[in-house]
């Protein structure tokens, strides 16, 4: 049985993940790369926070995936193998017109691939499947 606080983090993470999946059901011309990249970052952030919550680790208020990954690595060295790419960049920079960076479709595909790898890694660590969360 998974801890309720951990489960809530995973449920919220999976909302971001499903948003990405839905984007990729569209034609390539309709996909919004900035939305995919943002939700990939949000997914990874929340799923890492789920793991840290399980371990009783405080992580404060941060969007920095490298920091969260470092905390996870302190709990389990296997996290050293996990790659979050440049996803931290998408937490804020693609959301506001001041920065106005628009990722490419290729960047969106790469962000989704990272999210998939992180999902598989964390779900294996937690010994859960998506059905366990729903």
Considering its fold, how many domains does the chain have in total?
1
CATH of the domain at 83: 1.20.120.330
Q: What tens digit of pLDDT does each residue of 29-64 get?
A: 999 999 999 999 999 999 999 999 999 999 999 999
Say if residue 100's pLDDT is above 80.
Answer: no
Query: By residue range, what is the domain housing residue 123?
Result: 4-133
Rounded to an integer, what distance in angstroms lies between the CA atom of residue 16 and that of residue 43?
5
Q: Would you say 36 and 113 are in contact if contact means Cβ atoms under 8 Å apart?
A: no
Confidence class of residue 22 from pLDDT cuts 50, 70 and 90? very high
Say if residue 93's pLDDT is above 70.
Answer: no
Q: Residue 60: which region, alpha, beta or left (left: phi > 0; alpha: psi -120 to 50)?
A: left
Q: What is the pLDDT of residue 102?
A: 85
């Amino acid at each position: 049985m998974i801890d309720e606080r951990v489960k809530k983090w995973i449920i919220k993470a999976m909302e971001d993940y499903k948003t990405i999946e839905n984007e990729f059901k569209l034609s390539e011309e309709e996909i919004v790369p900035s939305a995919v990249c943002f939700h990939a970052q949000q997914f990874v952030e929340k799923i890492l926070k789920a793991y840290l919550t399980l371990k009783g680790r405080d992580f404060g208020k941060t969007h920095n995936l490298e920091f969260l990954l470092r905390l996870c690595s302190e709990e389990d060295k296997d996290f050293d193998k996990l790659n979050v790419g440049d996803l931290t960049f998408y937490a804020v920079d693609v959301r506001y017109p001041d920065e106005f960076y628009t990722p490419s479709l290729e960047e969106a595909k790469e962000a989704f691939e990272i999210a998939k790898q992180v999902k598989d890694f964390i779900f294996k660590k937690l010994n859960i499947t998506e059905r366990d969360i729903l």
